[in-house]
Amino acid sequence: MVALARTQAADFAAAGQKIDIENVSHRFELKGAPLPVLDNVSFSVEPGSFVALLGPSGCGKSTLLRLLAGLDHPTEGSLKVDGEEVGEPDPSRILVFQDPTLFPWRTVWDNVALGLEAQGILKSSKARVDNAVELVGLTGFEKAYPHQLSGGMAQRVALARALVNEPRLLLLDEPLGKLDSLTRLTMQTEIVKIWQDAGLTALLVTHDVEEALFLTQRVLIFGPRPARIVADIAVDLPYPRHRGDPRLAELRREALGHLGLAETW
Ligand SMILES: Nc1ncnc2c1ncn2[C@@H]1O[C@H](COP(=O)(O)OP(=O)(O)O)[C@@H](O)[C@H]1O
Ligand SMILES: [Mg+2]
Rounded distance, CA 46 to CA 201, Å? Answer: 8
Instruction: Please state whether beta strands 229-234 and 169-173 pair in parallel, antiparallel, or not at all (unpaired).
Output: unpaired
Cis amide prior to 226 (ω within 30 degrees): yes
Instruction: Tell me 21's DSSP state.
Output: E
Low-confidence spans in the chain with pLDDT less than 70: 1-14, 263-265
Ligand 1 atom, smallest distance to 56 CA = 22
CA of 247 to the centre of ligand 1 (A): 34
CA of 144 to the centre of ligand 2 (A): 30
Give the residue from 24, 56, 45, 59 showing the smallest Cα distance to 234: 45
Residue 219 belongs to a domain: yes
Q: Whose CA is nearest to atom 9 of ligand 1?
A: 63
CATH of the domain at 217: 3.40.50.300
Residue 117 belongs to a domain: no
Residue 189 belongs to a domain: yes
Ligand 1 atom, smallest distance to 72 CA = 1
Q: Which domain holds residue 93?
A: 6-102+169-264
Residue 1, Cβ density class (10 Å: 0-12 exposed, 13-18 middle, ≥19 buried): exposed
CA of 8 to the centre of ligand 1 (A): 37
Residue 232 belongs to a domain: yes
Ligand 1 atom, smallest distance to 205 CA = 21
Residue 130 belongs to a domain: no
Please choose from 35, 67, 204, 229 the residue to mutate so as to test ligand 1's pocket, defined by most ligand atoms within 8 A of CB.
35
Ligand 1 atom, smallest distance to 57 CA = 23
CA of 38 to the centre of ligand 1 (A): 10
Q: What is the predicted pLDDT for the residue at 14?
A: 54
Q: Whose CA is nearest to atom 2 of ligand 1?
A: 28
pLDDT, tens digit (0-9, with 9 covering 90-100), for 183-225: 899 999 999 999 998 889 999 999 899 999 999 999 999 999 9
Residue 237 belongs to a domain: yes
Residue 119 belongs to a domain: no
Rounded distance, CA 66 to CA 89, Å? Answer: 9
CA of 182 to the centre of ligand 1 (A): 29
Please, what sign has the CA dihedral across residues 227, 231, 236, 241?
A: negative
Ligand 1, residues at Cβ distance < 6 Å: 28, 30, 35, 37, 55, 57-63, 225
Q: Whose CA is nearest to atom 10 of ligand 1?
A: 28
CA of 56 to the centre of ligand 2 (A): 9
Q: Whose CA is nearest to atom 7 of ligand 1?
A: 28
Contact 163, 135 (CB under 8 A): yes
Please choose from 27, 57, 62 the residue to mutate so as to test ligand 1's pocket, defined by most ligand atoms within 8 A of CB.
62
Q: What is the predicted pLDDT for the residue at 4?
A: 41
Ligand 1 atom, smallest distance to 61 CA = 22
Domain count, the chain: 1
Contact 248, 214 (CB under 8 A): yes
Residue 65 belongs to a domain: yes
